[in-house]
Each structure stands twice: as C-alpha cells, then as structure tokens.
C-alpha cells in the first residue's frame, strides 16, 4: 500500500487550521493572524507595544536596528518556550513577515497535532512579558 501524502497533508491541515483558529480567537491581542495550507501553517504575532520595545533595549544595537527585530524577538520567545518546556521544535520564517512556522511531518497523525496545539495555548497564556523575560533569562545564563 502506498502512502497518500496529499491526503495526509489535507487532514493535518484541517486539524491545524481549526486548532490555530481557536487559539487565535483566544489570544486576539497576541495573534494577528494565522495562514496555511496542508501541513504548513504560520502564526503571525502582534509585535507593537512598549513591552517588545523594552526588550529591544536588551539586545545588541545592530540587531535592534533590524526592521523585523520586534517580530523576531517575540516569535523567538514563543519558539524557545515551546522547545524548553514542551520539547517541541519550531522555527520562524524569514520572508517579509516573520511567522512561527508550524510544519508537522506528513507521517504525523491528527492526534499527534493535539500536543502541539495544547503546548502553544499554554505558552501563549503566559503573555508577552513572561515570554520575553523567559527568553532574556535563558540567553543571559548561557
């Protein structure tokens, strides 16, 4: 029997889309939008505000001058928390907009998507201050 990867991607995508939409509805001040098709989705975070601006003061000035520094810091804070606390590896894209990339392997099942969605919900529930301060503490201790 051959694997039907397009069908697997569609099923994963349906679960991801529904789950990410629910999380975005729960955290409208943190998630600007989600987008994706199949097993590849992105979570775009709101990056305005004084908390992210304050965090920029803690990083080297060359990095802070990057027009996407806000997006990179907040998204990196979410990525770090997902990995550190839940053993979930994610990354951010480097196109015009910085997105948290959600891309489970096509051999994953819909049920295996649930731990990611639960972990993302838990991480986002911490709020911007705790996420960024967690990232700063982690990097300062290295």
pLDDT in tens, 62-101: 766 777 888 888 899 999 999 999 999 999 987 678 999 9
49 against 131, higher pLDDT: 131
For position 49, what pLDDT does the model report? 72
What is the Cα–Cα distance from 52 to 29, expressed in whole angstroms? 13
What pTM, to 2 d.p., does this model score? 0.87
Tokens representing 42 are: 């992105």
The phi-psi region of residue 56 (left if phi > 0; otherwise alpha if psi is between -120 and 50; otherwise beta) is alpha
Average per-residue pLDDT for the chain: 87
What is the Cα–Cα distance from 128 to 55, expressed in whole angstroms? 10
Closest to 46 measured CA to CA, from 75, 14, 87:
75
* Structural domains present in the chain: 5-140 (3.90.1150.10)
For position 106, what pLDDT does the model report? 84
């Amino acid at each position: 029997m051959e694997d039907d990867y397009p069908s697997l991607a569609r099923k994963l995508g349906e679960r991801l889309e529904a789950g990410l939409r629910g999380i975005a509805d729960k955290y409208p001040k943190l998630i600007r939008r989600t987008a994706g098709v199949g097993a590849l989705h992105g979570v775009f975070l709101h990056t305005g505000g004084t908390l992210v601006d304050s965090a920029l003061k803690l990083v080297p000035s060359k990095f802070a001058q990057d027009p996407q520094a806000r997006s990179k810091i907040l998204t990196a804070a979410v990525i770090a928390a997902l990995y550190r606390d839940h053993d979930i590896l994610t990354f951010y894209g480097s196109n015009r907009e910085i997105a948290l990339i959600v891309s489970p392997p096509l051999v994953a099942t819909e049920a295996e998507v649930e731990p990611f969605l639960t972990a993302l919900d838990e991480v986002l529930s911490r709020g911007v201050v705790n996420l960024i301060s967690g990232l700063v503490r982690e990097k300062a201790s290295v």
